[in-house]
Amino acid sequence: MSRWFLPLLILSIIVCCIEVEVSAPGFPDIAKNFHTTESLIELTVGLNFLGFCLSALFYGPLSHNFGRRPIMVFGNGLLLLGAIGCFLAPSINFLLAARFLQGLGASTSAVLVFTMIADVYQGSKATKLIGRMNAILTIIMALAPLIGSFINNLIGWRGNYGFIALLSFSSWISLYLYFPETQKKESFIKLKDVLTPYKKLLLSPKFLALSLVPSFFYASYMAFITQSPFLYREAFGLSLLQYTLHQGLIIGSFSLVSFFSDKILKALEPKRTVALGLFLCVATAFLMFFLTLFNLSSPLAMTLSMSFFSAGFAACYPVIFTESFTVFSELKGFASSLTMSLRAFLCFFLVALTGYFYEGTSFAVAIVILSAMVLNSFLLMPFFKAFEKFAKE
């Protein structure tokens, strides 16, 4: 296999994972530049996730029919065009359209990167490589808001999108020139062969629950990250540097727990890990709600609450996500595509919801996160026995 294979996979997944965190620090400046509302600016993230949701269902099957390489080059090309559109956007409507195009392309790497690792490597080597990639991603994600704030302060909000455009171009041209094909056998999947597995997954209450729970965790987290620039810089009156430090602590807590998730899982076992993570998320969601309800919310209280929420989310996410693939082990590829699509749709919905009801306080995001965590608690209750079985395996 080409020596460029793994570095190119890492570069492509980094681009699609940090675009929100890098661009978020500039949201208040974008609103002022286009003389528009906070909800419309937050919709730039919502539409990005909607594009991700719609396209994620197709890239897996298309890669079976046409190969991994052509689909990776095509999808990352769309991501590049969207990034350039964001950088040059003359109006808010143009920016919204460009963000949607970005989402259509961003799901390519999210869906196919780990599939391609499975094409080339098996067993413990594949697991080790995926773990190494996740470790790199957590570090990059922790640095993303710092990078975005630095660029925004130095150049302005267009600089954030320009940075993503440069990364996207580097990824796309490298994929085009050096990326190898990893699919060993040619295959063709008919439309009915695509719809049947998705129908089977959607009709399974167990799969839907185990797929929705991590998706609600992630969507709640993204709803907060998207609204936080307005909340911290305008409602709380913090400077860009202060906002960056608060965001760095929140994302850093997520990254730190993700980095040590294997050791945490080994020490606590799956059931206790999920129980502890869920407890942290639910408890901090209630705390944020009551702090907001009684006008006690502050930057420090919000940051500490979200840091504990992020730690709980990071602890139990990989356990539940992995368990969802055991429901129909023969449909792992379709399960991955459907889960990514559902996750993106929930991100679109929760981000749009918090943006629509935002009135200069943390109430909207607090009630949305609390509602999602209460729903997650009910969805998880029937499955703690499944985690006991997972632990034995």
pLDDT digits (tens, 9 = 90+) for 157-207: 999 999 999 999 999 999 999 888 887 765 666 766 778 888 888 999 888
CA separation, residue 81 to residues 75, 127, 166, 210, 360 (Å):
10, 33, 11, 35, 34
CA distance 212 to 35: 36
pLDDT of residue 391: 47
Residue 323 has pLDDT above 60, yes or no: yes
| Span 40-51, average pLDDT | 92
Q: What's the pTM value of the predicted model, to 2 decimals?
A: 0.84
Q: Which CATH number fits domain 190-392: 1.20.120.350, 1.20.1250.20, 1.20.1540.10, 3.90.76.10?
A: 1.20.1250.20
DSSP state of 180: P
The domain covering 1-189 belongs, at the CATH homologous superfamily level, to MFS general substrate transporter like domains (1.20.1250.20)
Residue 193 buriedness (CB in 10 A; 0-12 / 13-18 / 19+): exposed
Residue 382 buriedness (CB in 10 A; 0-12 / 13-18 / 19+): exposed
Per the prediction, the chain carries an average pLDDT of 86
pLDDT digits (tens, 9 = 90+) for 364-391: 999 999 999 999 999 988 776 555 554 4
CA distance 82 to 99: 6
Residue 115 has pLDDT above 80, yes or no: no
Residues forming CATH 1.20.1250.20 domain(s) in the chain: 1-189, 190-392
Residue 232 has pLDDT above 70, yes or no: yes
What is the number of alpha carbons within 13 Å of residue 223 lying toward its C-beta?
Answer: 33
| Span 223-245, average pLDDT | 90
